[in-house]
Chains A and B, each alone.
Chain A
Amino acid sequence: MKRHYHVVAIPIRIVLNTFGDHNPNGMMYVLKENEEKVKRLVKKNPFMPVDLVQPLFIRANEGDVVEILFENKLPFHAGMHFQEAEYDVCQSDGANVGYNKETTVAPCEKILYKLHLMKEGNYYFSDLGNVSSDQNGSNSNGLVGGLCVQSRFSWWTDPETGKPINSGQYADVHHPLLPSFREYVWMFTDEMEVDDLTGNRPINHFSNQEEESFHGANYRYEPENRREQLVAEGVVCPNCEGEEVHHDSWVFGDPSTPILRGYVGDPAKIRLFHGGVKETHVFHYHVHQWFSDPSDLASEIFDAQAISPQSHYTIQPLYGLGSLQGSFGDAVIHCHLYPHFVAGMWGMNRVFNTLQDGSQCYPNGVPIKSLKPLPDRPAPPKPTKMKPGFPNFIPGKVGMKAPRPPMGIVGGRGLTELERNAAITNPRPGAVFTDPCPEGAPVKEFNISLIEIPLIYNREGWHDLTGRIFVLDEDLEDICLGKKAPEPLVIHESSHTRYQINFTNRLPHILDGDAFQLVTRTYEAGMHIHFVKFDVLVNDGANVGWNYDSSVLSGETIQYSYYADTELKAWFFHDHLFPGAHQQHGVFGTGVVHPRFTKYLDSTTGEEVDQGTEVTCVNPLIPDYRDFVIFAQDFTHLVNKDGKPLAPPPFPGSPDDPGLFGVNYKNEPLQFRLGKDCDPAYSFSSYVKGDPITPIFKAYEGDSIRIRLLQGAQEESHSFNVHGLRWLHERGDLNSRLENQQHIGISESFTMEMNVPRSGDYLWTFETEEDLWNGLWGLIRAFDEKVPELIKLPDRPEPKERSTPLPECTGIRPPSAADPTVEIVKGPLRKYDVVAFQTSIQYNSFGDHDPDAIIFALREDMEAIQNGEIEPVPLILRGNVGDTVDVTLTSYLKPELFPFKDGIYPYPIVKEQAFYPPSLRISLHAQLLDYDVKTSAGETVGFNGDQTVGPGESRTYRWYVDSAVGVCGMWDMADIRNHRSQGAFGAFIAEPRGTEYLDPYTLQPASTGASVILRNPYLPDTREFVIVMHDGVRLLDKNNQVIFDPVDGILLAPPGIDEDLLDTYDQGSRGFNYRSERLINRYLEHAKIHDLFSSDVFGDPSTPIFESYVGDPVTIRLVTPAERRRSHTFHLHGHRWKSDSKNIHSRTESNVGFNVAGAKRNLQLLGGAGAYNGFSGDFMYRSGNIRWDIEQGMWGIMRVFEELKKHLPKLDQ
């Protein structure tokens, strides 16, 4: 079916909340039919939000052809670029790329876009006419929207009136064969320009400094600062502090942000889009869980999910609204990154249990808008005086904090009459209005307290004076007396357990002030839980909407009740009343829900336990396993042993990335790992400085292990990697791809299940430069023979008695690792002779270059690279399944060629810069391949031998290609400060058996290269394009001046731009494959921003041009071997792929989020080059981050020809 929309881009004042905070220079897409109305309403309401001012959300069905007549009323060229859709790139790209026809439009002009909607799902659209990341750019000002594509034969109505609608964030979607559902569109937006009522930047009333930047959803935000001001000024809620009532509708009424309304059990889909420009957010939705991939029932269950800019998901809550237990009330939805949550990035899902026909009011007298029941579901009961339904049976007082729940607080109150009428038959503490637990479920009681205690993070005495941690009451004394080391609380139980938690708040009323934060009265606390089933009204451990405040004051105890319905991952718990103030001090823990009938043993003594970050699990039916829990932390407020604050923020209370990092309340910074010879190559070696203080998880060779990965605090993305081990990405799906890396944001939880094939020390890292530098790494130590500190797994053979003593710290460089090549090779052997040396790399034709780069190359190419006959590119190696690959690495590093011999690398920096002189040794580590970490991990770790090479030395690594895993990152692990971001990385690609690699232009066999043809007798000829995404590069311009990217690359930047807006990890230049087509260079030649991607104007960019013919099979190998913590989104125009190339059930998408160090994906383009509809032209591949990637050069072109070209032989099919 053909649909038609007329969309206009207009300038509009966007009022973001009822406090009058607004963006005076907002821009939006709007349907033509609403244009005049919205302008009129905004004019009439200059300081109040107008409903029609929301990102444009339109709808269509799968299979439709949608025509968009786009009209531009902005003062610059603008357009609409659609992700996921197929379209003629010369007609409907909404951009001006390569040699395509321009498809942005000048002011006052129109263009017709024609889109083919191939698949149900979220289609993001945004402007590419003005990609400036600054406040003059279009995207951060609101020029984004979403097209929600439904199953064929669907139609949609207004949830309030039941009438058909053409656009809007809420719709009820209906279908002849499928259940009707509530569709809510939630679009994160960030970094928008905000003025307050006076026209100035908002000031935080607490710190008296400028407020944190805008973080909201659907052009709205509800900042804690604004609400707190009303408390501070005595308007509402006497004696309250602020954060604890931030989400409390009893105090403030409902927020301006989205409230997603429905009835208990209603099926729902949240179309989640990231329309922001910079940050990777974590979407968290209380009470509910969903499949990570709604099209794959074997995929993981999430209740918090990170999302990178310009990417999107459909969140389909399991069991409908209120989840399995049918809980009703307000479930908050928020970005879990606390500074964003505090800034106002939250809303809620309001689940009613009585019919809303428009005749009812909220307790504050605001009418409850009517809500049509879904037509295929029974209508909920009408409210009566005795049973008024949520929220009108709750005995709260408007203007005051929400009441405490009945029954839960020890020594507290019982039920009122109305509460009794609303309650279940047999209410109990924690389960009053819904009972999540089936009768007869075994009950497990835990007594948990939240306490304040200093935490010492490392041997240098870095410590957090006001550590705040959860502990079991039985350990209180031992922990307070120092007899037991504090660690994040991890409790273990099996599924089908009713948890009874007696939670006592033992915190002092006051969180003391210091260089990091101001004195805060954190007088109440609760225990909010993820994943498990519970009654949200009384048991959320939070204070949300019209619910109860289910926390307690200092000295009080509250009883909570949860149910683990199935084997779950590690369910996160934390305080929800003052998390912005104190979660970074350690207020987090987890409960692991194991398979039924499991027992948990202390790994040393074998005694049965119910807590611990490291336990041994025994089950009568499934293999026994070791269970390891790792919590990442950032914003960790540490002082050194002398009390000097480490990485303090610019002022106390600033959300500007205060503090350092931790893992399980520990860190092992690399600056303290240098031995006497000060060689960074041995930073991870236990021979030189002993074992790290961070967790060393123990196993015997052959043991099965589960790693529970969580992030406890506070704002940033981290990239967890395990070197030498791997797991199924979707644990429950055997079709899933293998992984050894996982991006994580706060509150996410992942379980990785694997086997430790050989003995040795396996390095786990949070791989990005600043994390690793500041000590986020540790080991998994697999013993070959018996040790007294580790019991064996009961179902595994007895380990051999110890025949050789365990290695010990010697203080000197480690012994050389054994030579792996002495073993006889079975099957094909492939050899690569690789050299590492210093050279200059030209990143583009404008003279931006890295004169001090370090690269890997094949020896046969070294001379030509040094002579300038071959331009340096990242080394790409390949091997086939079944191959043994011997890679011999020789170092030609020269000390005189390192630019900063004083040992401090000046830009990009890391927090806590320190002396770390460049290593002359180098190594080559590879991901996902099979090798013995004791000889071939390409790193010197723990008590493994030395695997690095010094100048003139060579060493051979032996890797087995046992699975066609596709692309694997490769990089140096000898010096992560002075080598890696400088270019010491590449990729290995594991191809199917029998594959040959051909140069695409000569058809001769290729030994390396980013573009090859794969030829295999059983598979179609396929073009393989390798895209190496990397950042943190130190470039000089043509005048040899350091480029301070991203600031130096910002288009339309006002003079005197504030460099403070940069986090350390944003520093440096970025690009693909040692190339960066920085738009600023182009802009300085030709100051038309919409033309900057045009090859007609500038010629082709210096980033790789990948060429093919329409319909050619194409696999893109996307890999991010380096370097910084900011995650990038990858997007290719006009094409889609399966999110997991190994899993046909996986969803299709046109973007890949979370590209941070260690990430990698194989993208088989659906329909081949030009997609199913066979379009030709220039398709841009690029980052999805407006801030600060696209401008800074992260873009290139995939060129698809229609007609045969002389220089490019066609594929033999």
Chain B
Amino acid sequence: MTQPNECQPINIIREEGISTHFSQNINKKVLILTEAFPFMFIGEIISVVDDFVEMKVQNTSIPALEGKTWFVHIDSIEVFYIETETGIKIPELKE
């Protein structure tokens, strides 16, 4: 885990912190909203590559983009929720 370091600007620390948070939650289900199209991703975190999260996407707003692996730039994530074992489930989306 990245520790605050006086040599690093706080913005870098926070960005790294969030990448670390994603990398600590590999195999968990995540919901991500981005301002950019297609606005929503729901799926499983596969890995974190630098500041990209690799995920197997179950749902987006566009059916044709689903069931695929996507790399989402972590710095572009507006809000998210990672399902933890004790926590609340991301609702199942059924057609």
Tell me if A176 counts as interface (CB < 8 A to partner B): yes
Tell me if A1 counts as interface (CB < 8 A to partner B): yes
Tell me if A740 counts as interface (CB < 8 A to partner B): no
Asked if B95 and A177 make an inter-chain contact with CB atoms under 8 angstroms apart, the answer reads no
Chain B residues positioned under 8 Å from A1 (CB to CB): 95
Q: How far is the CA of A1 from the CA of B93 in the complex (A)?
A: 13
Asked if B63 and A176 make an inter-chain contact with CB atoms under 8 angstroms apart, the answer reads no
Chain A residues positioned under 8 Å from B91 (CB to CB): 176-177
Asked if B63 and A152 make an inter-chain contact with CB atoms under 8 angstroms apart, the answer reads yes
Interchain residue pairs with CB less than 8 A apart (18): A1-B95, A61-B95, A63-B63, A63-B95, A64-B95, A152-B61, A152-B63, A152-B93, A152-B95, A153-B93, A153-B94, A153-B95, A176-B91, A176-B92, A176-B93, A176-B94, A177-B91, A177-B93
Chain B residues positioned under 8 Å from A152 (CB to CB): 61, 63, 93, 95
* In the complex, residue of chain A having the shortest beta-carbon distance to the beta carbon of B63: A63
Instruction: Tell me the minimal C-beta distance from B85 to chain A in angstroms.
Output: 20
B-contacting residues, A34-76, CB 8 Å: 61, 63-64
Chain A residues positioned under 8 Å from B61 (CB to CB): 152
Q: How far is the CA of A61 from the CA of B61 in the complex (A)?
A: 12
16 further A-B contacts with Cβ under 8 Å, apart from A176-B93, A177-B93, are A1-B95, A61-B95, A63-B63, A63-B95, A64-B95, A152-B61, A152-B63, A152-B93, A152-B95, A153-B93, A153-B94, A153-B95, A176-B91, A176-B92, A176-B94, A177-B91
A-contacting residues, B73-95, CB 8 Å: 91-95
A-contacting residues, B5-61, CB 8 Å: 61
Chain A residues positioned under 8 Å from B63 (CB to CB): 63, 152
Instruction: Tell me the minimal C-beta distance from A1174 to chain B in angstroms.
Output: 14
Q: How far is the CA of A582 from the CA of B20 in the complex (A)?
A: 70
Q: How far is the CA of A176 from the CA of B31 in the complex (A)?
A: 13
* In the complex, residue of chain A having the shortest beta-carbon distance to the beta carbon of B94: A153
The 3 closest A-B pairs by CB, nearest first: A176-B91, A1-B95, A153-B93
Chain B residues positioned under 8 Å from A153 (CB to CB): 93-95
| Total of A-B residue pairs, C-beta within 8 Å | 18
Q: How far is the CA of A176 from the CA of B40 in the complex (A)?
A: 14
Measured CB to CB, the residues of A under 8 A from B are 1, 61, 63-64, 152-153, 176-177
Main secondary structure of the interface of A (DSSP, over half): loop
Main secondary structure of the interface of B (DSSP, over half): loop
Instruction: Tell me the minimal C-beta distance from A949 to chain B in angstroms.
Output: 52
Instruction: Tell me the minimal C-beta distance from B55 to chain A in angstroms.
Output: 18
Q: How far is the CA of A743 from the CA of B91 in the complex (A)?
A: 44
Q: How far is the CA of A64 from the CA of B63 in the complex (A)?
A: 10
* In the complex, residue of chain A having the shortest beta-carbon distance to the beta carbon of B40: A177
* In the complex, residue of chain A having the shortest beta-carbon distance to the beta carbon of B37: A1144
Q: How far is the CA of A63 from the CA of B59 in the complex (A)?
A: 13
Q: How far is the CA of A153 from the CA of B61 in the complex (A)?
A: 11
Q: How far is the CA of A152 from the CA of B94 in the complex (A)?
A: 8
Q: How far is the CA of A152 from the CA of B93 in the complex (A)?
A: 8
Instruction: Tell me the minimal C-beta distance from A60 to chain B in angstroms.
Output: 11
Chain A residues positioned under 8 Å from B92 (CB to CB): 176
Q: How far is the CA of A941 from the CA of B91 in the complex (A)?
A: 64
Chain B residues positioned under 8 Å from A61 (CB to CB): 95
Chain B residues positioned under 8 Å from A177 (CB to CB): 91, 93
* In the complex, residue of chain B having the shortest beta-carbon distance to the beta carbon of A61: B95
Chain A residues positioned under 8 Å from B94 (CB to CB): 153, 176
Instruction: Tell me the minimal C-beta distance from A86 to chain B in angstroms.
Output: 14
Chain A residues positioned under 8 Å from B95 (CB to CB): 1, 61, 63-64, 152-153
Q: How far is the CA of A251 from the CA of B21 in the complex (A)?
A: 65
Q: How far is the CA of A153 from the CA of B90 in the complex (A)?
A: 14
* In the complex, residue of chain B having the shortest beta-carbon distance to the beta carbon of A177: B91
Instruction: Tell me the minimal C-beta distance from B92 to chain A in angstroms.
Output: 7
Instruction: Tell me the minimal C-beta distance from A505 to chain B in angstroms.
Output: 53
Q: How far is the CA of A580 from the CA of B51 in the complex (A)?
A: 65
Most A-side CB within 10 Å, residue of B63, B91, B92, B95: B95
Q: How far is the CA of A649 from the CA of B95 in the complex (A)?
A: 57
Instruction: Tell me the minimal C-beta distance from B88 to chain A in angstroms.
Output: 12
Instruction: Tell me the minimal C-beta distance from A1015 to chain B in angstroms.
Output: 28
* In the complex, residue of chain A having the shortest beta-carbon distance to the beta carbon of B61: A152
Q: How far is the CA of A1 from the CA of B61 in the complex (A)?
A: 15
* In the complex, residue of chain A having the shortest beta-carbon distance to the beta carbon of B64: A63
Q: How far is the CA of A366 from the CA of B74 in the complex (A)?
A: 59
Instruction: Tell me the minimal C-beta distance from B79 to chain A in angstroms.
Output: 13
* In the complex, residue of chain B having the shortest beta-carbon distance to the beta carbon of A2: B95
Q: How far is the CA of A61 from the CA of B93 in the complex (A)?
A: 13
* In the complex, residue of chain A having the shortest beta-carbon distance to the beta carbon of B31: A177
Instruction: Tell me the minimal C-beta distance from B40 to chain A in angstroms.
Output: 8
Q: How far is the CA of A698 from the CA of B93 in the complex (A)?
A: 59
Instruction: Tell me the minimal C-beta distance from B94 to chain A in angstroms.
Output: 6
Q: How far is the CA of A488 from the CA of B61 in the complex (A)?
A: 49
Q: How far is the CA of A153 from the CA of B94 in the complex (A)?
A: 5
Chain B residues positioned under 8 Å from A64 (CB to CB): 95
Digitize B61-77: 1 where CB-to-A-CB distance is under 8 Å, 0 elsewhere: 10100000000000000
* In the complex, residue of chain A having the shortest beta-carbon distance to the beta carbon of B92: A176
Instruction: Tell me the minimal C-beta distance from B35 to chain A in angstroms.
Output: 11
Most B-side CB within 10 Å, residue of A63, A152, A176: A152
Chain A residues positioned under 8 Å from B93 (CB to CB): 152-153, 176-177
Q: How far is the CA of A177 from the CA of B93 in the complex (A)?
A: 8
Instruction: Tell me the minimal C-beta distance from A934 to chain B in angstroms.
Output: 46
* In the complex, residue of chain B having the shortest beta-carbon distance to the beta carbon of A155: B94
Q: How far is the CA of A928 from the CA of B83 in the complex (A)?
A: 53
Instruction: Tell me the minimal C-beta distance from B36 to chain A in angstroms.
Output: 11
* In the complex, residue of chain B having the shortest beta-carbon distance to the beta carbon of A1144: B37
Q: How far is the CA of A177 from the CA of B88 in the complex (A)?
A: 13
* In the complex, residue of chain A having the shortest beta-carbon distance to the beta carbon of B93: A153
Q: How far is the CA of A63 from the CA of B95 in the complex (A)?
A: 9
Q: How far is the CA of A61 from the CA of B91 in the complex (A)?
A: 18
* In the complex, residue of chain B having the shortest beta-carbon distance to the beta carbon of A151: B61
* In the complex, residue of chain B having the shortest beta-carbon distance to the beta carbon of A176: B91
Q: How far is the CA of A1 from the CA of B94 in the complex (A)?
A: 10
Instruction: Tell me the minimal C-beta distance from A118 to chain B in angstroms.
Output: 10
Chain B residues positioned under 8 Å from A63 (CB to CB): 63, 95
Q: How far is the CA of A61 from the CA of B63 in the complex (A)?
A: 12
Instruction: Tell me the minimal C-beta distance from A65 to chain B in angstroms.
Output: 11
Q: How far is the CA of A64 from the CA of B91 in the complex (A)?
A: 20
Instruction: Tell me the minimal C-beta distance from B15 to chain A in angstroms.
Output: 27
Instruction: Tell me the minimal C-beta distance from B67 to chain A in angstroms.
Output: 14
Q: How far is the CA of A176 from the CA of B63 in the complex (A)?
A: 17
* In the complex, residue of chain A having the shortest beta-carbon distance to the beta carbon of B62: A63
Instruction: Tell me the minimal C-beta distance from A229 to chain B in angstroms.
Output: 53
Q: How far is the CA of A1013 from the CA of B4 in the complex (A)?
A: 60
Q: How far is the CA of A1 from the CA of B95 in the complex (A)?
A: 6
Q: How far is the CA of A1 from the CA of B91 in the complex (A)?
A: 19
* In the complex, residue of chain B having the shortest beta-carbon distance to the beta carbon of A153: B93
Q: How far is the CA of A68 from the CA of B94 in the complex (A)?
A: 22
* In the complex, residue of chain B having the shortest beta-carbon distance to the beta carbon of A64: B95
Instruction: Tell me the minimal C-beta distance from A1146 to chain B in angstroms.
Output: 15
Chain B residues positioned under 8 Å from A176 (CB to CB): 91-94
Q: How far is the CA of A177 from the CA of B91 in the complex (A)?
A: 7
Instruction: Tell me the minimal C-beta distance from B48 to chain A in angstroms.
Output: 25
Instruction: Tell me the minimal C-beta distance from A64 to chain B in angstroms.
Output: 8
Instruction: Tell me the minimal C-beta distance from A411 to chain B in angstroms.
Output: 56
Instruction: Tell me the minimal C-beta distance from B17 to chain A in angstroms.
Output: 27
Q: How far is the CA of A152 from the CA of B58 in the complex (A)?
A: 13
Instruction: Tell me the minimal C-beta distance from A599 to chain B in angstroms.
Output: 38
Instruction: Tell me the minimal C-beta distance from A462 to chain B in angstroms.
Output: 57
Q: How far is the CA of A176 from the CA of B61 in the complex (A)?
A: 14
Q: How far is the CA of A177 from the CA of B94 in the complex (A)?
A: 11
Q: How far is the CA of A63 from the CA of B63 in the complex (A)?
A: 7
Q: How far is the CA of A153 from the CA of B59 in the complex (A)?
A: 11
Q: How far is the CA of A64 from the CA of B94 in the complex (A)?
A: 12
Q: How far is the CA of A153 from the CA of B66 in the complex (A)?
A: 14
Instruction: Tell me the minimal C-beta distance from A1177 to chain B in angstroms.
Output: 24
* In the complex, residue of chain A having the shortest beta-carbon distance to the beta carbon of B42: A177
Q: How far is the CA of A63 from the CA of B91 in the complex (A)?
A: 19
Q: How far is the CA of A92 from the CA of B11 in the complex (A)?
A: 56
